[in-house]
Structure 1
Amino acid sequence: MEYSATVTSSIEYPKNMSFVIFLAKCPLKCPYCSNSEILERGTEISLEEIYEKIDDSALFIDAVVISGGEPLVQYEDVIEIFKYVKEIGLKTKLDTSGVYPDRLRKILDLDLVDYVAMDVKAPSDKYNEIIKADIGDKVRECMKIVNEHEDVILECRTTYCPALLKEEDLFTIANEVDCDLYTLQQFRNRCVLDESLAEAEEPNPHDMENIAKKIKKLHPNQNINVKTAEFGQKSV
């Protein structure tokens, strides 16, 4: 298995302290990717070593999150890790970009996941334009698969990069998602795959909150968060 790092976080799994494992490799090349150094390869590590890292933090955490990259590239290892996490009584969360519906279904059907956070990067018909990968149908399918599992929480989240997405795109995405929580995330130009975005404007956190409030007005029953560097994660 190839991974990048592990960290302890108080925000990756809402209301739970979590141990986050970043797995390497991803089939996408999103221009604003902040983990571009692990898209092709990572550091080799055995499952036993991962289990040891989890054990070292087990007394201080409530959940284990597997992120990436795209974790489902190495989905068989994800299954084994989540099996272990469930055996020791912790919650599980999977981060995904919705690239592999069949793999996602396999994991969910094993009752190994409590929470899925899915990146919805663009309106379904604009994926190819925004990230050069025409996966809008797969993302919609993944949403449907998660929602078939009533006990699994689904968060959809969009990174708002004004150089790539227009404000109206965000309203389109909000109309398309079917989830427990929709999160609008702030684009950061500190570390990006596409160097042309290194000078791109970062969205103003107040503007983002105003957009989220407009979305909330249109979808009053939708839980909405805004995540920015300046103010952290806020509910709208």
Structure 2
Amino acid sequence: MDSDDDIEQVSTRGRPVGDREAKRKELLRAASTVIAQEGYANASLRKVAKHAGYTTGAVTYYFANKEELVVALMESAFDRFDAMLESARETGDILAPFESWIRLTDRSTRFWPATSELLAQGRHEPAFAEVIARRYARYRRLLAAIVKDAQERGTVRNDIPADILTDQLVAMGDGWMMLYPIEPKRFTPKRMRALIDALAVLIAPVPGEPKPGGRAARA
């Protein structure tokens, strides 16, 4: 159990004491867990506060309302996606983001269930839709650049334009994420490994296709 020093204290003026950024991240983790376990509709600020061991007032010090909290949670999720892509850009390993993506199915994390819940809310909440559209556009743009670089090195098939191949890769990842909360037993470590191996085959250079510097890939 957390000690008194680990639990946020609130002064009489409502201002929490301690590292603001650390406590904000802690509340986002609590929100992710509550949403994953109970769904978006049932996730209240009170439940998030209780899970984190804080008062509801402490939560509203950082997030004025549920919408603001969820928008921050979405931004945080996309920050993780961007970090995965940065790793792939540095190493040149196009499968690296998907390896990291798959590891998020670990039973100790609620990332996939919570994120799939929030993406579904984009149909009904304009503020969520704006975040999803803006951050997904950035994610696709970054991944397409990595795919294009790999095509130019000859490590990824170049018979499909980078932006189209990127859309297909993103759709596969999203599909896994959406199904995992519904069929968690199907996504065993062995099966997830098989999915990554199959992905490697799907994006591998096609035998006989033009090499980098040769005839341009067809549009």
TM-score, with structure 2 as normaliser: 0.30
TM-score, with structure 1 as normaliser: 0.28
Rg larger in 1 or in 2?
2
Q: Which has the higher contact order (CA 8 A, sep 6+)?
A: 2
More strand as a share of residues: 1
